[in-house]
Structure 1
Amino acid sequence: MSSLGASTSRFPAASYADRIARAGALARESGLDGLLITPGPDLRYLLGSRAESFERLTCLVIPANGETASVVVPRLELASLTESAASELGVRVLDWVDGVDPYALVAGVLPAPARTAVTDAMPALHLLPLAQELGALPVLATGVLRELRMVKDEAEIDALRRAGRAIDRVHARMGEFLTVGRTEAEVAADITAAILDEGHTEAAFVIVGSGPHGADPHHEVSDRVIESGDVVVIDIGGPVDPGYNSDSTRTYCMGEPDPAVAARVAVLEAAQAAAVDLVRPGVAAEAVDAVARDLLAAEGLADAFVHRTGHGIGLSVHEEPYIVSGNAIELTEGMAFSVEPGIYFPGQWGARIEDIVVVTADGCESLNTRPHGLTILPG
């Protein structure tokens, strides 16, 4: 057993103790014997660990019977747990060396055969030998863990607020970076540096979609030179400690926009605002999608809106709940997600407006406050 230290890049140990206890209880209610969590967002959520997944197994085992959780970890990877809450929680650390069967260590702390659920980030490299050792094929733990991760506690919401303010500061500086004559790649390099300067630990993504590239929702960057009159979509984000992400999109125009472009972006702005205004406890996720989609359709822009209205956010940039047609889940206080309708005209231009919102007791709090309409920069 190893002694592991603490880190300031995570929440207090009590937060993780509560999460592990609730995860075990939900597993028990689901008829499972335990949860098996390998490195990824779920492990970071439950233990505050930033361990990475390699060919050697690292796995948090949470028994559903309430017994102490264990971490099976290669001895040479013990340092990966030093920033976690493991030692403060009294988690058993079962370290192993080459030649020892780590899958047998996992099975040893569970009944046989064990009915288990695994994180969706578990590689098949580990899933298959675990299934053989446990005597039963695990199921996905998504149905258990999403109930925990979808609803953020106050500490998580505060981290998301800090992330939102940080990315707003980057958008506020866009006039420094986004100028006619520069390439998308040059602008993206400056934005990446600003994301770090403004308090993120990394730039998770930077989209600079100028002119016709703005019509591709997942365009990243290219060597295209930004021209006068271009409409430019800037979608940027990244994590702040302890790992919670920002994600905000604004649309810019290099010089005065064509009146038809401005009119369509005004409709998009109204659709985004209507969707945000609808967010409150008890409203179905699909209803938020519908209000934005219906408003755009009423103005003849139904075919221009080609993706869902939003996605949950937290330790992952994209997580549940998804704000999309067919998702009837009711919004609950503490859920955090994007509201980001867009319109796209292939070969011409595109626009998207995105805020992160958190559901409150009687509405929602928007974590991004930069102007939502078409921002005009010198052209």
Structure 2
Amino acid sequence: MPTTTPPPFTADDYRERMARAVRSAADAGLAGVLIAPGPDLVHLTGYRLPAETERLTLLVLAPGRDPVLVVPTLEAGDAARSIGAPALTLRDWTDGKDDPYAVAAPLLAAGGRYAVSDNTWALHLLGLTRACPEARYTALGDALPMLRAVKDARELERLAAAGAAADAAYEEVLRLRFAGRTERDVAHDLAALLRRFGHEQVDFTIVGSGPNGADPHHEAGERTIAEGDMVVMDFGGLKDGYGSDTTRTVHVGGPTPAEQHVHDVVREAQQAGVDAVRPGATCEDVDRAAREIIESAGYGDLFIHRTGHGIGVTTHEPPYIVAGERQPLVEGMCFSVEPGIYLPGRFGVRIEDIVAVTADGGRRLNTTDRALAVVE
């Protein structure tokens, strides 16, 4: 399949995302938003740097003022050259000369309440608290959980391309031999195929054969796959900065009636979850639709995780498709629908597609056959 690189996002794209964040903050009664290195910063500015940096880098978004990125002087050049830099004012600080928190403090309103990126280092939050003790802070995930949840058209194009690349990897791996090879061998094949079809980053390649398939997050190991095994494959990563994540369950040699029945139940549940996707439905409506199928078949206690998670610049992000999440679905949201049944000591089955909310329902971004494929 073609692996053409999409055009980069523009400064205007980032300005609109930051403006939307400011509007959301104001609607939530916040004085602003403070964004540390990580996925929120990538989404809002296009600036990607290691999240584990000990030097303060902080995007400050507040109503009535231009966005400001506080950045170490030694990294200011990279920030200025980043795609979103024209949408920002840079305020740099120098090692050994400036207190970075004193540089950031004048950007905060005394007494203001700010949402702070969930992955902000405690070191940095404590430094801000010392420099501006009158400000108050709350977790961004609590205050604005849907900040990155609604994707624009260009983001959806990238997510669709990532899904298509993961689908191509699945189609290719079906051609390979499973029996007599280890889970790690197949996981290695999946990772290589994801890269072949354009992924710059592989986040996970779960391969759970036989009883290992009953562990939803099993790490591919040295177990040799044998004739008669069910094999759960869950894999994904980032292509052009946006995530893929798909799961298919295959059988080596051909299933027993009992194995086929469990797979049929999961397939029906997954379809029911996708059918429940529409604007105005809630996240828990989708979870309930899938879960009811599995419960009615007598396997309710064996579906042990949420039905899905959002995806974007990371492979797991809000919204979460789980009981108790009453967030209404909005056109442009994108998330997985991935019910499963896990029989301890025997096998597991999971089927997963990424689904985008459209004006009249849900659009699958993974289109490979969801039937139980038989492999050698």
TM over 0.5: yes
1:237 equivalent to 2:236? Answer yes
- Give the direction of change, closer, same or farther, for the CA distance of 1:175–1:83 in structure 2 (3 Å limit): farther
Q: Secondary structure at the match of 2:359?
A: coil
Q: What is the CA–CA distance in structure 1 between the aligned matches of 2:42 and 2:360, rounded to whole Å?
A: 30
Q: How does 1:114-193 map to 2 (within 5 A)?
A: 114-135=112-133, 136-143=135-142, 145-193=144-192
| Deviation sequence 1:148-190 (CA, Å, 0-9, x none) | 3111110111111000100000000112445211111111112
From 284, 291, 294, give the equivalent of 1:293.
291
1:88 partner amino acid: P
Q: How does 1:1-379 map to 2 (within 5 A)?
A: 10-53=8-51, 54-64=53-63, 66-135=64-133, 136-143=135-142, 145-241=144-240, 243-378=241-376
Q: Secondary structure at the match of 1:223?
A: coil
TM-score (norm 2): 0.94
- Give the CA deviation at 1:75: 1.7
TM-score (norm 1): 0.93
- Give the CA deviation at 1:45: 0.9
- Give the direction of change, closer, same or farther, for the CA distance of 1:312–1:86 in structure 2 (3 Å limit): closer
- Give the CA deviation at 1:12: 1.2
Find the counterpart in structure 2 of residue 3 from structure 1.
none
Q: What is the CA–CA distance in structure 2 between the aligned matches of 1:8 and 1:277, rounded to whole Å?
A: 30
- Give the direction of change, closer, same or farther, for the CA distance of 1:178–1:310 in structure 2 (3 Å limit): farther
| Deviation sequence 1:97-125 (CA, Å, 0-9, x none) | 33310011111223334432211010111
- Give the direction of change, closer, same or farther, for the CA distance of 1:357–1:284 in structure 2 (3 Å limit): same
Is 75-84 or 14-23 further displaced after alignment?
Answer: 75-84
- Give the CA deviation at 1:52: 1.7
Find the counterpart in structure 2 of residue 4 from structure 1.
none
Mapped contact 1:26–1:144 kept (Cα < 8 A) = no
2:355 partner amino acid: V
Q: What is the CA–CA distance in structure 1 between the aligned matches of 2:326 and 2:144, rounded to whole Å?
A: 19
Q: What is the CA–CA distance in structure 2 between the aligned matches of 1:12 and 1:374, rounded to whole Å?
A: 43
Q: Secondary structure at the match of 2:147?
A: helix
Q: What is the CA–CA distance in structure 2 between the aligned matches of 1:30 and 1:353, rounded to whole Å?
A: 37
Q: What is the CA–CA distance in structure 1 between the aligned matches of 2:99 and 2:270, rounded to whole Å?
A: 53
Aligned-pair Cα RMSD in Å: 1.7
Mapped contact 2:247–2:351 kept (Cα < 8 A) = yes
| Deviation sequence 1:310-329 (CA, Å, 0-9, x none) | 11111121111111111112
Identity of aligned residues (%): 46
Gaps of 5+ in 2: none
Gaps of 5+ in 1: 1-6
Q: What is the CA–CA distance in structure 2 between the aligned matches of 1:178 and 1:283, rounded to whole Å?
A: 42
Q: What is the CA–CA distance in structure 1 between the aligned matches of 2:129 and 2:176, rounded to whole Å?
A: 52
Q: What is the CA–CA distance in structure 1 between the aligned matches of 2:162 and 2:59, rounded to whole Å?
A: 28
- Give the CA deviation at 1:271: 1.0
- Give the CA deviation at 1:90: 4.2
Is 367-376 or 140-149 further displaced after alignment?
Answer: 140-149
Mapped contact 1:24–1:63 kept (Cα < 8 A) = yes
- Give the direction of change, closer, same or farther, for the CA distance of 1:72–1:96 in structure 2 (3 Å limit): farther
- Give the direction of change, closer, same or farther, for the CA distance of 1:369–1:86 in structure 2 (3 Å limit): closer
1:181 partner amino acid: G
1:69 partner amino acid: P
Q: What is the CA–CA distance in structure 2 between the aligned matches of 1:326 and 1:293, rounded to whole Å?
A: 13
Q: What is the CA–CA distance in structure 1 between the aligned matches of 2:192 and 2:229, rounded to whole Å?
A: 23
Mapped contact 2:272–2:289 kept (Cα < 8 A) = yes
